[in-house]
Amino acid sequence: MSEPQTIHLADYRPFPFTLGEVQLTFRLAPAATRVLSRFTLAPKGGREDLVLFGAHLRLIRAAVNGAEIRAEPKDGQIRIAAADLPEGPFTWEAEVEIDPAGNTALEGLYMSNGMYCTQCEAEGFRRITFYPDRPDVMTTFRVRIESDLPVLLSNGNPVAEGPGFAEWHDPWPKPSYLFALVAGDLRAHPGQFTTRSGREVALNIWVRPGDEDRCDWALTSLKASMRWDEEVYGREYDLDIFNIVAVDDFNMGAMENKGLNIFNSRAVLARADTATDADFMRIEAIIAHEYFHNWTGNRITCRDWFQLCLKEGLTVFRDQQFTGDLRGAAVKRIEDALTLRDRQFREDTGPLAHPVRPSSFVEINNFYTATVYEKGAELIGMLKRLVGDAGYKAALDLYFTRHDGQACTLEDWLKVFEEATGRDLTQFARWYSQAGTPRLEVSEAWDEAGVFTLTLRQSQPETPDGVEKLPLHIPVVTGLLNPNGDELAPSVTLELTETEQSFRFEGLSTRPIASVLRDFSAPVILSHRQSDATRAFLLAHDSDPFNRWEAGRTLSREVLARLISEGTPPSADWLAAMAALLRDESLEPAFRALCLRLPGEDDMAATLAGSGLVPDPHHIHRARRSLQTTLARHLAPQLPGLIRAMTPQGPYSPDPTSTGQRSLKNMALALQTRLDGGAAAQSAWQAADNMTDQMAALACLIEAGCAGTALRAFEARYGGDRLVMDKWFMTQVLCAPPETAADVAEALTAHPKFDLKNPNRFRAVFGALSANHAGFHRADGTGYRLLADWLLRLDALNPQTAARMSTAFETLPRYDADRQAMMREELQRLKAAPRLSRDLGEMVSRMLG
């Protein structure tokens, strides 16, 4: 094997041929599937070599214009010199053999629990046959599947079927990454949708026998998504059938293949007694996300993988809007900001920082990141803020009409905004190429003549790519409050375009209180020095729910930071503010629960590191626990009543109101557990009639150190259920005390149900280990060593998931010299391993810097 190559955006060249319809025939057999392919290629002009990608394929036969040729696959491709090709259009045919049963990478065609399925994004189609496997090559597909299995599916519409075969035709031109095939003994949970122009669409959720009663929620969510996209974006579905398949072994959440979405079963299957509120909400959001891709991704796709955020950032933004519309925009915005900070800011401040549009990569699978997805979505939100709702709508309409059927770039995207709104987005475009989280410093001045001045200053951190940073165009939504709590005027969007700019507010009679970066209007780190009293005031009065929550969050973070670094106990003001919040019945329960949640340990480590300190994970853990206990003592009189009042009556329902109530109830239960050693959790465990309450009680029991019986009962009841058992594995590691988390994880790897080949199970154990901050960073390095050992084992089977899980080490630069040295040692050990994958190899090299 030659050295892995770096691919550069600047090297993009169009594919020099036009493809006719692709014909594929699959003769399915577990270890030896034959794939026959046939398509025409017409030179676009000029004479160029033909390059077809192929990986892990056994070439049986290749022919040009019907005449067999000797093709030599080399370094993952077949190259046929221009001189050896006919001058005009010609037909390419190939027959290859592949081994789905031996495919543990879960890319291309593989087997999961006796069924065949495919995953082709980003470059999995080349594991199926030789092909110009790049997103800018779009054509229609005709597919014949030969197999005795009862259900045979592919993209588009069914056109023929008989004993042992089925044929499908997809009339919409698509790139190969959207190809899909499924074959197995599956059951349909059927549904039906009429589009607003009257098209009758047959819907099916396909699952393994036994899972039929876990499909309702996915179907409900799908219909809601289809309706929403018509109403809000004017986008209709465009085929007569829409299939979703649940697969147990899957590297990611789900995949938007045209007309045949394939889902990780955990992102689709749900029933009250097997899935939590969080699962229900995740399913709703992912179903929407994949459905929305039909327009933003499929009808309009990406020219090359550097443009990934063109489809992902936009589609995440759309699914966030959808959830906000269904479940309440304020709580959704807070949750999205929390995720962004947890995952994207973390990535952006470490060695893996990269721009929303990277300029080079070794393995594209390593760039399905929080930066491309979540920061990509934030950029759309800022654009919408800058051009206004009407401008956004005009730009999107233009995008859909102008680019339908095309493979586009971010330049195309920005241009529709410029043309539809007349705004110059040259400076805004820097957001796509500059990595790192900008800092925004705010200072205030007040003069007695009634002028209040806000000075905004931006700075950009250095990032590993060494790119020179220029000022960004940052929308800063700002409001001013009177000391009595009234708004002085509607919020304004201050547009910061220079490094530093001042904004004057005149004609005021008293000094106002400023509420800056409302609705989290830009993905930046805000530093705005305000007194505890001012923050408490905003927590009580801000009309912007995000900033209301944010004021409380900042207070809590400061309280916790002072406890960690100076041992200062929390102020009475903070405790009083929390108690007032909890009692305020005008506030949604979900919002109150969010306000009560203390910043996490990882968040605190980032905060301390951000202010030049070296975080000590154990110290942070102890301090946070003790703050929780103090808070619990202070709120003690309210907790039992709250637990009772926030228990929804009647059968379980994942609606927003009940979900919010349960989140507040279970937050109160966690606090109560700090006081009673698990007594309330024991009764909650007994009383639980849904998975949300069961998991909440179980977590409390583990933290209280008295979960033995409950864990055994849980295993006895759900041992045969893969998805529920993932929770059992996960929660034991996540809630374990830091001293034992790594040992618990290690012991679980010896459990008969631990399965290295199932990404969900691997993530349950090792995702939980890296999320147990103090447990993973145990001072003796056990956590690091254990993870590295298992990453190596996983890498031999599934490089993509191994690479993704290796990001546990991305925060390395934050910690003390000893921990850094131990983390580096593990990364070095990985790097030196024989046969390390390109995926994990790239990640490790970047983290070692």
End-to-end CA distance of the chain: 24
Query: Residues binding Zn ion: what is the number (CB under 5 A)?
Result: 2
Instruction: Rank residues 256 and 544 by Cβ distance to ligand PHE and give the closer one.
Output: 256
> Which entry of Zn ion, ligand PHE, none binds 663, CB below 5 to 8 A by partner kind?
none
Using CB under 6 A, pick the residue from 289, 303, 553, 778 that binds ligand PHE.
289
- Binding flags for ligand PHE, 294-333, as an x/- string (CB under 6 A): ------------------x---------------------
To which H or E segment does residue 361 belong?
A: strand 360-361
Dmax of the chain from CA atoms? 90
> Interface with ligand PHE includes 143 (CB under 6 A)?
no
Q: Considering beta carbons, is residue 206 or 250 the nearer one to ligand PHE?
A: 250
- Nearest distance in Å: CB 263, ligand PHE: 10
Q: Which is nearer to Zn ion, 246 or 765 (CB)?
A: 246
Instruction: Give which of ligand PHE, Zn ion, none residue 319 binds (C-beta under 5 to 8 Å, depending on kind).
Output: none
> Measured between alpha carbons, how far is residue 59 from residues 129, 431, 544 in Å?
9, 45, 62
Size of the site for ligand PHE (CB under 6 A): 12
Q: Is 290 a catalytic residue?
A: yes
- In order of 147, 375, 547, 579, 768, the CA distances from 431 in angstroms are 49, 10, 24, 40, 32
Q: What are phi and psi of 202, to 5 degrees?
A: -85, 125
Q: Which of residues 51-110 bind Zn ion (CB under 5 A)?
A: none
Regarding beta strands 58-64 and 90-98, do their DSSP bridges make them parallel or antiparallel, or are they unpaired? antiparallel
Is 121 an interacting residue with respect to ligand PHE (CB under 6 A)? Answer: yes
- 264's enclosing H/E stretch is strand 260-264
Q: Are 410 and 310 in contact (CB under 8 A)?
A: yes
DSSP state letters, 265-306: GGGT---TTT--HHHHHHHHHHHHHHHHTTTBTTTBEESSGG
Q: Are 787 and 749 in contact (CB under 8 A)?
A: no
CB of 607 to Zn ion, least distance (A): 30
Cβ closest to ligand PHE, residue 147 vs residue 315: 315
255 binds, among Zn ion, ligand PHE, none (CB under 5 to 8 A by kind): ligand PHE
CA distance 762 to 789: 13
Tell me the closest approach of the beta carbon of residue 290 to ligand PHE, in angstroms.
5
374 lies in the site for ligand PHE, by CB under 6 A = no
* Residue 252 binding partner per list Zn ion, ligand PHE, none, with a CB distance cut-off of 5 to 8 Å that depends on partner kind: ligand PHE
Interaction between residue 290 and ligand PHE (CB under 6 A): yes
**Nearest distance, CB of residue 203 and Zn ion, angstroms:** 20
Q: How far apart are CA 818 and CA 781, in angstroms?
A: 9
Question: Which range touches ligand PHE (CB under 6 A), out of 114-122, 186-194, 380-388, 436-444?
Answer: 114-122
Nearest approach, Cβ of residue 316 and ligand PHE (Å): 8
Q: Among Zn ion, ligand PHE, none, what does residue 809 contact (CB within 5–8 Å per kind)?
A: none
Residue from 368, 452, 549, 728 in contact with ligand PHE (CB under 6 A): 368
- Residue 82 one-letter amino acid: A
Give the three-class secondary structure for 161: strand
Q: In what order do the strands lie in the sheet with 439-447?
A: 500-505, 451-459, 439-447, 525-528
Shortest gap between Cβ of 96 and ligand PHE (angstroms)? 22
Choose which of 96, 105, 218, 255 interacts with ligand PHE (CB under 6 A).
255
Burial class (CB in 10 A: 0-12, 13-18, 19+), 814: buried
Considering beta carbons, is residue 177 or 432 the nearer one to Zn ion? Answer: 177
| Identified catalytic residue from 121, 290, 601, 826 | 290
Applying CB under 6 A, does 369 fall inside the site for ligand PHE? no
Please check whether residue 405 is in contact with residue 378, taking contact to mean a CB–CB distance below 8 angstroms. Answer: no
- 135 by DSSP, 3-state: which? coil
From the list ligand PHE, Zn ion, none, pick the one residue 270 interacts with, judged by a Cβ distance below 5 to 8 Å according to partner type.
none
Looking at the Cβ atoms of 120 and 642, the one nearer to ligand PHE is 120
Rounded-to-integer distance, Cα 801 and Cα 760, Å:
10
CA angle (766 as vertex; 765, 770 as ends), nearest 5: 125
How far apart are the C-alpha atoms of 607 and 592, rounded to whole Å?
A: 23
The option from ligand PHE, Zn ion, none interacting with 368 (CB < 5 to 8 A, set by class) reads ligand PHE
User: What angle, rounded to 10 degrees, do the helices at 656-676 and 308-327 form?
Assistant: 90
Q: How far is the CB of 290 from Zn ion (least distance, A)?
A: 7
Q: Which is nearer to ligand PHE, 258 or 621 (CB)?
A: 258
Long-range contacts of 612-615 (CB under 8 A, 24+ apart): 613/565, 614/814, 614/815, 614/816, 615/814, 615/815
Beta bridge partners of 260: 243
Closer Cβ to Zn ion, 151 or 180, answer by number: 180
Instruction: Supply the minimum distance, in Å, between the C-beta of residue 159 and ligand PHE.
Output: 27
Which two tokens mark 224?
């809601």
Q: Which residue is nearest to ligand PHE (CB)?
A: 252
Question: Pattern of binders to Zn ion over 283-312, x per CB under 5 A?
Answer: -----------------------------x
Structure-block tokens of residue 526: 């805000």
Q: If binding is defined by CB under 6 A, does position 130 make contact with ligand PHE?
A: no
Q: Which of 136, 256, 603, 810 binds ligand PHE (CB under 6 A)?
A: 256
CB 293 to Zn ion: min, Å: 6
Q: Which residues of 161-180 are buried (b: 16+ CB within 10 A; e: fewer)?
A: eeeebbbbbbbbbbbbbbbb
What are 515's two structure tokens? 């509420």
Residues 608-647 that bind ligand PHE (CB under 6 A): none
119 binds ligand PHE (CB under 6 A): yes
The residue type of 23 is: Q
DSSP 3-state helix, strand, coil percentages of the chain (rounded to 5)?
A: 45, 20, 35
Interaction with ligand PHE in 747-766: which residues (CB under 6 A)?
A: none
Contact pattern from residue 311 through residue 350 relative to Zn ion, giving x for each residue in contact according to CB under 5 A and a dash for the rest: -x--x-----------------------------------
Q: For residues 689 and 693, what is the distance between their CA atoms, to the nearest angstrom?
A: 7
The amino acid at residue 580 is A
Helices (H) and strands (E) in the chain, counts: 28, 31
Q: Which is nearer to Zn ion, 315 or 837 (CB)?
A: 315
Beta partners for 478? 492, 516
Instruction: Pick between residue 119 and residue 690 the one whose CB is nearest to ligand PHE.
Output: 119
* SS3 state at 118: strand
Helix axes 589-596, 329-339, angle to 10 degrees: 30
Q: Does 22 bind ligand PHE (CB under 6 A)?
A: no
**Region of 119-127, 204-212, 540-548, 707-715 interacting with ligand PHE (CB under 6 A):** 119-127
Token pair, residue 778, equals 């145990």
For Zn ion, the closer CB: 315 or 366: 315
Residue 254 engages ligand PHE in binding (rule: CB under 6 A): yes
What's the full length of the chain, in residues? Answer: 849
The stretch among 248-256, 502-510, 540-548, 640-648 that binds ligand PHE (CB under 6 A) is: 248-256
CB nearer Zn ion, residue 374 or residue 544: 374
Residue type, 269: L
What is the closest distance, in whole angstroms, from the C-beta atom of residue 119 to ligand PHE in the complex?
6
Query: Shortest distance, CB of residue 106 to ligand PHE, whole angstroms?
Result: 9
Please say which residue, 279 or 290, places its beta carbon nearer to ligand PHE.
290
Q: Whole-number minimum distance, CB 486 to ligand PHE, in Å?
A: 44
Q: For binding to Zn ion (CB under 5 A), which residues are involved?
A: 312, 315
Q: For binding to ligand PHE (CB under 6 A), which residues are involved?
A: 119, 121-122, 251-252, 254-256, 289-290, 312, 368
Annotated catalytic residues are: 290
